[in-house]
Structure 1
Amino acid sequence: MNKSDLAKAVADSTGMSKAQAGEAVDATIEAIVGAVKGKDNVQLAGFGTFYAKHREARQVRNPRTGETMMSKAKTSAAFRPAAGLKDI
């Protein structure tokens, strides 16, 4: 399912137009991304939690040359599914 399919499903279940549902999906995604970038967790009961995960710098190897180098520390988005979603 892609974003367009999700908007159609929202429109079908709520009675909204497809355009309105698309705007709602876009706004929801923007809110989640903004919160995670701000290091806030987004907890959706029964679905899961979106959060920022810090990854330390580590030693990596270039598979082509075999050269060893250090990767930079970084923060990326992560998702932890709720217990009910894990059992699907």
Structure 2
Amino acid sequence: MTKNELITALAAQKPELSKRDVNLAVKNIITLLYKTVCSGKRIEIRNFGSFSIKIRSAQDKRNPKTGEKIRVPDRNVLRFKPSRKLGAQVKTFQQH
């Protein structure tokens, strides 16, 4: 689902709201989520999941072409952990 599809679906569910208002609300929510995660804080949405930043520690790797050892530095990785409810729904989902 794209952002535009989300806005259209929400506007259809709430006809009392204009599509412009729904667009603004979605934009503000996404901006707030973005800023929160980028500041290092954790976001938890009940029955959906949580977003957090995990630090992946430095590792020694090998260049596959040359076999040379290289050091990969620490890095931040965005992590999403689904809620138990969402995880259970995904496990039972069957694609046709």
Q: CA deviation at 1:65?
A: 3.4
Question: How many angstroms apart in 1 are the aligned matches of 2:28 and 2:55?
Answer: 25
User: Root-mean-square deviation (CA), in Å?
Assistant: 1.5
Matched residue, 1:80: 81
Matched-pair contact (CA < 8 Å) for 1:32–1:50: no
SS in structure 1 of the partner of residue 61 of structure 2:
strand
Give the aligned residue type for 1:14.
Answer: K
**Residues 57 and 19 from structure 1, CA distance in 2 versus in 1: closer, same or farther, beyond 3 angstroms?**
same
Q: 1:3 to 1:61 in 2, by over 3 A?
A: farther
In structure 1, C-alpha distance between the alignment counterparts of 2:65 and 2:22, rounded to whole Å: 46
Identity rate of aligned residues, in percent? 30
**What are the within-5 Å matches in structure 2 for residues 3-22 of structure 1?**
3-15=3-15, 16-22=17-23
**What secondary structure does 1:24 align onto?**
helix
Q: Over residues 45-85 of structure 1, what are the superposed CA-to-partner deviations in whole Å (9 max), with x where a residue is unaligned?
A: 11111111111111223333333211121112211111011
Q: Deviations over 1:11-61 (max 9, x none)?
A: 112222222222212211111111111111111111111111111111223
For residues 23-34 of structure 1, what are the structure 2 equivalents within 5 Å?
A: 23-34=24-35
Matched pairs, number:
88
Q: TM-score, normalised by structure 1?
A: 0.85
Aligned counterpart, 2:53: 52
Distance 1:61 1:9 in 2: 47
TM-score by length of 2: 0.79
User: Which runs of 5 or more structure 1 residues have no equivalent in the other structure?
Assistant: none
More displaced, 15-24 or 67-76?
Answer: 15-24
Is 1:53–1:78's contact at 8 Å kept on the other side of the alignment?
yes
